Structure 1
Amino acid sequence: MALIPQSFIADLLNRIDIVDVVGQHVKLKKAGANYQGLCPFHQEKSPSFSVSPTKQFYHCFGCGAHGSAISFMMEYAGLGYVDTIEELARSAGLTVPREERTANDVARLQQTMALSEVMSSAADWYRQQLKQAPRAVEYLKGRGLTGEIAKRYSLGYAPDGWQGLEAVFGTYANDEIAKTLLEGGLLIQSEQTDNQQTARRYDRFRDRIMFPIRNPKGQVIGFGGRILDQGEPKYLNSPETPLFSKGNTLYGLFEARQAIRAQEYVLVCEGYMDVVALAQLGFPNAVATLGTACTANHVRMLLRQTDRIVFSFDGDAAGQRAAQRALEACLPLMSDDKEIRFLFLPTEHDPDSYVRAYGAPAFEKVIKEAMSLSSFFFKIVSQEHELTTPEGRAHTHHAAKPLLLSMPPIALRTQILREVAIRTNSTPAELESFCGLTVAPAPVQSNAYVSHPQRSNTNPHFGNTNRTPGAPWQSAKGAAKRVQPIAPPQAPTDLAEQLLRVLIQFPHLGKSLDANKRTLALKASKLRSEKAFALMQDLLAQCDLVELIPGEAGKPPSVGAGSFALFQEQLSRSEFAPLYEVLRKRVMGSDLDLEGAMADLEGSFKKLELTDLKQEMTDITQKISGGTATDQDRARYRELGERLKFN
């Protein structure tokens, strides 16, 4: 895909007013130099959401959400970066240019536009057909649905005919029409036989209730059809098309966005009817996967909308397998401010039937009591393993290892690891070692002896009066003396996250780092995790690419809005995007300003330099203990000791 030029993004942000953009979705009132309103990202009664027309920036003092017009639309509407740019450009009457747009790019865009128009027209026709199909209307009424809900989800009906859509698009004998309908998954073309002059073309959806599937912008990109009478398959989905990908789409997310924010959680079900019926019964915050396993992209889309996800599955073996796949999709994207639960209903019930049988309050209760992610984790790794035997405990460790390795280095991973260790009669250190999550530090010989030639007590370097504090040798006369080694420094893994967060928020600070500080930053990240190390590499590379705008007199330079947006886009597309997204969300909850960021950065590097200094002293101590130290080593040790006194 061709990139959007940075200059266009900067021009776009200069032309649009964030007050207008936010004001289309949030009721704002003037409050001094700024505007205030109720935050759209969390529930509140008193307005804490502020929009600055001078800074072109929004900030919520309640939940910490903040950013530009671009980030507001991405978070509020659940749009991707490119879709957000296109949406804002459209509102400003601009056309998004593309760098190096090829003939294939143009053809692909034209194909997408043609398919989108076809899907929209088909949805309108299906909706009109429902009004003329008493049998279909009675079926929906029998499921407890009202006309209001049917309208909200744009439900329709595909008549029981082979060429129904010809009424909308014309004869299927027209190859151009048929080609577009086939690409959109609305037609099926049979294989040509010897008895046929041409292949037969007919409607994919016949005698079915139609559920239009929408993307985050509300455009119809596919359909699900539920057969009215007996037959197989009961539910039929659109095939994969240039518009529609099951692994990247959730049914009902467009309709449920406001309710998800209001309820502060999303309920993930297994079918279209579950979503629509739950909306009718007072749970409009439900969505569904589309006949496929829950994917990381599904989870990522949901976490843009809320911090709490509840998966609802059948209690049978198939439901357990689906839940395990959902767990595997969630673990790499977890952070300590997220909550994910798993609800297993009795095998005779789906969410719709459960609410009808026991009522909405009972369903709310089982949602609140749903199994936590950690509890389900323990269940998955220990099932069918006998924890009273060494073999069973080893099998549990084996099952837990890939799941633990897939998680980012957060507090929840530490807690889960400790719990698994307790349940398997192991220590956390043993399990960490088995999983390869930690590297044991090299042992330091504390009982070693070393001989030194007799030295004068008046020697300024080795005498008692001027001896460097903590020196590993003694200056008194005599034979070997016991070495008192310096304890090796602790890995400063907490500093790695602090550095990453500062550089994500202020990339121009990363651009100005010298080679020594970059080495320290990479070393700290390496100690944290391989993912953190790789992200730091990518982050520093992207920092080098940002374009700086000179500051006013006496003020430091800053990053242009367009350049910063591209910086975010590149990192969000990198291999380590999940970890970047976690850190970016934490940055959004921070009120750190540039001055504070510079102070944090300076303090972090000072601590890292101090750690390196202590490590070098420890290495020299080991040489002295082994009798391999040179005069240069001892001179270096004294130099480091002097520096240590002033740090």
Structure 2
Amino acid sequence: MSLSPAFLDELRARTSLSTLIGRTVKVQKAGREYKACCPFHNEKTPSFTINDEKGFYHCFGCGAHGDAIRWMTDQRGLPFMEAVKELAQAAGMDVPAPDPRAARRAEQTRGLHDVMAAAQGFFEEQLGGIDGAEARAYLQRRGISDATRRAFGFGYSPDSRGKLKTALKDFGESVLIEAGLLIDPDGAEPDSGKTSKRDSYDRFRGRLMLPIRDIRGRVIAFGGRILGQGEPKYLNSPDTPLFDKGRTLYNIDRASPASRRSGRIVVVEGYMDAIALAQAGFAEAVAPLGTALTEHQIERLWKMADVPILCFDGDSAGQKAAIRAAARALPLLRPGMSLAFATLPGGQDPDDLIRAEGSAAMETVLGSSEPLVERLWKHEHGAAPLDTPEQRAALKQRLSALTDAIAHPDVRAHYVQAFRERYDALFFARRPAFASGPRHSPRTGGGNWQRDRRGNWKPPLPPAGTEVRAIGESGMEQRLLRAVLASLLRHPEQIALHREMLSGLQIADSALAQLLDAMIAASFRKETVETQGLLTILGQGEVYNMAKGMLRADTFTFTPHRMTADPGRAARDLDEAIRVMAQGPELEMNLAAATRRAMEDVSEANLSAQQQALTAHRNHLARLAELAQSEDII
């Protein structure tokens, strides 16, 4: 009888592993996990851990590892189906009725596991024989110790078209083909009834062989490295009923328990990299199998560590692989789950670095890994020149494409903010009036903020003699400013996100300026300030009445069809409007300075550029003011 993976996953999810094990073993709480003395070997100090959240147990002493079903079969000695039935009864689940076809597939799978184990034994035997001399010499040159060779199961496939086929003939030719060990030149499907016109032959010939194992340590495929000249340099088994290269990670059976000891998982480019790291003491290393990192592999990595470290070569190919993995991860990101990136020195792989500088140098590389957001920003920032407005706009567009790919709304919002801060710091310098000293939260009493007579915090004033044109002197600016303030009244959580830029605005209308000051000051409070709280702070009077009028207007957004627009779009438009308002006075000051220089025959080209920038800004302002539909904002 065969059971579907979905049924078994549900059964594991419904079973409290700590409760199950606690029926026969004394367990005690240890943080988020439980611990006990291992029931599989004698020990006095507990090294046996139980993780209910992830549904597994593991002993750091003897290596025992498994889930609820494995516990019932290994510790209780029950057959698989009896274990499942007992757990299902306790969980209130019905075991599915037998499916003859599924039973045949299960039997077939067991046969494939047997043939792969036999092939592994054959390859190991060949490595120790006369034909394996060249392979043994290669391992010696690479510095692979005998202990590492045995631990990873190195073998050798003779340079022959039929030695493996002959050695494993008792399994049957069709099974060997299905397992990916033989190549059928005519492509006949197993059990199809067709007769091949040409003989099948060994897939791996004259190669150093490495078994690829599943999480339970069973051989499911092989990787072979050619010795001497030839292509491909590395050859993996094809996809089979046991092996899906997009769902498998090399060395996962050894790296998974090691990751729980070290608290991290490291992803390298190839299996020889993972082996070199393991030999140097970094047992928590895995590698994809000839493909870019897939969604399934990323999800599997997150089961071992919240922030896996991708350590790829520093050359162009390695960095492209890192960015492909970063882009693949974006739709999957969720709170706490991300990626980090460690870059090796140019031209070096892990083995090169460890041989040249030792394990400490490798630890330094891993310890200096940078977060996903930083790696994405650096890549996009360096992807193209940023000399013209069009090139800078292209950077902004590329960053927006990245954030749009993130499915989780909270994670996406934080990436938008992080990219915005980096973009603004790069292209929009703070105006001198507000760059005269460090900014501190007014709660600390530091920086340029000061208390008024009532004890309320007020933003800093420009230094004496500084000429700054106030916002709101033109009709378009007035309309856009009122729309922005109305939006902030309705969504006070947005104030803190834009506080730095809002505090730099000079507003011509005293009532609007007072309203903005009150909102900024309120955003520094520990507790979240809501709309009603803002109105209470304002008290009675002209500003209070103006704010109430804004709230009585129709629902505000910067986007057309505002009743159906998504909140993310509205937030992006609000961000854009605030930045456009903040840029206006600075652009006009730059134009004035360029005009003075042009009158002195210094740079007419610079004057033209400043004029074009200000014209573009005013057109942008007009578009936003129109979108704001300020007839609804009282």
TM-score by length of 2: 0.57
CA distance in 2, matches of 1:443, 1:14: 50
- 1:340-393 deviations in Å (ceiling 9; x for gaps): 322333443211112111222122222222343222111222333333422112
Contact 2:266 2:285 in 1 (8 A): yes
TM-score (ref. length: structure 1)? 0.56
Which residue in the other structure is 2:52 paired with? 67
Aligned to 2:121: 124
Q: CA–CA distance in 2 between the matches of 1:102 and 1:298?
A: 30
For residue 181 of structure 2, the aligned residue among 176, 180, 186 is 186
Contact kept? 2:17, 2:52, Cα under 8 Å: no
Distance apart, 1:214 and its partner CA: 0.9
- Which residue, 96, 104, 113 being the options, matches 1:99? 96
CA distance in 2, matches of 1:369, 1:7: 39
SS at match of 2:312: strand
Q: Which runs of 5+ in 1 are unaligned?
A: 24-29, 42-47, 53-63, 77-82, 428-437, 448-469, 471-480, 492-522, 530-621, 627-647
Distance 1:485 1:277, change over 3 A: same
Identity %, equivalent residues: 32
Structure 1 counterpart of 2:548, from 469, 484, 492: 484
Partners of 1:182 and 1:188 within 8 A in 2: yes
Query: CA contact under 8 A between 1:153 and 1:255: conserved in structure 2?
Result: no
Matched, 1:35 2:28: yes
Aligned residue type for 1:185? G
> Within the alignment, does 1:90 sit opposite 2:90 as a pair?
no
Asked if the contact 2:13–2:55 (Cα under 8 Å) also holds between the matched residues in 1, the reply is no
The aligned counterpart of 1:406 is 405
SS of structure 2 residue aligned to 1:157 = strand
Q: CA 1:114–1:406 in 2, change beyond 3 Å: closer, same or farther? A: same
2:296 aligned residue? 297
CA shift at 1:401, angstroms? 2.3
In 2, Cα distance between equivalents of 1:343 and 1:302: 16
The Cα of 1:73 is off from its aligned counterpart by 4.7
User: Structure 1 residue 329 and structure 2 residue 393: aligned?
Assistant: no
Are 2:17 and 2:56, in contact at CA under 8 Å, matched by a contact in 1?
Answer: no
In 1, Cα distance between equivalents of 2:282 and 2:274: 8
Over 3 Å counting, the alpha-carbon distance change for 1:277 and 1:483 in structure 2 is closer
What pairs up with 1:41-440 in 2 under 5 angstroms? 49=34, 67=52, 71-73=55-57, 84=67, 86-91=69-74, 92=76, 93=78, 94-95=80-81, 96=84, 98-99=95-96, 102-132=99-129, 133-170=132-169, 177-191=172-186, 198-335=197-334, 337-338=336-337, 340-407=339-406, 408=408, 409-410=410-411, 412-422=414-424, 425=427
Q: Which letter maps to 1:19?
A: G
TM-superposed CA distance for 1:137, in Å, is 1.8
1:329/1:392 CA distance change after superposition, 3 Å: same
Q: Over residues 491-525 of structure 1, what are the superposed CA-to-partner deviations in whole Å (9 max), with x where a residue is unaligned?
A: 9xxxxxxxxxxxxxxxxxxxxxxxxxxxxxxx9xx
Aligned-pair CA distance for 1:14: 9.9
Cα deviation, 1:189-220, whole Å, max 9, x if unaligned, reads 12399xx9832211111121111111111111
Q: Deviations over 1:199-254 (max 9, x none)?
A: 22111111211111111111111110111222111111011111111111111111
Judging changes above 3 Å, is the alpha-carbon distance between structure 1 residues 230 and 73 closer, same or farther for their aligned structure 2 residues? same
How many pairs align?
416
Q: Give 1:487 deviation, angstroms.
A: 4.1
Q: In the TM superposition, what is the alpha-carbon distance from 1:482 to its structure 2 partner?
A: 8.2
State the 1:18 CA deviation: 1.9
- Runs of 5+ in structure 2 lacking a partner? 38-48, 61-65, 86-94, 189-194, 430-483, 491-510, 512-534, 536-544, 556-562, 570-629
Equivalent position amino acid for 1:108 in 2: R
* Superposition CA RMSD, Å: 4.4
1:538-553 maps to which residues of 2 (within 5 A)?
none
Assess if the C-alpha contact under 8 Å between 1:264 and 1:307 holds in 2: no
Alignment correspondent of 1:19: 22
1:274–1:482 CA distance, 2 compared to 1 (3 A): closer
Task: State the secondary structure of the residue aligned to 1:141.
Answer: helix
Measure the CA separation in 1 of the matches of 2:488 and 2:99: 56
Corresponding position of 2:612: none
How far apart are the structure 2 equivalents of 1:262 and 1:392?
A: 47
Q: Secondary structure at the match of 1:211?
A: strand
Q: Post-superposition shift, 1:156?
A: 1.3
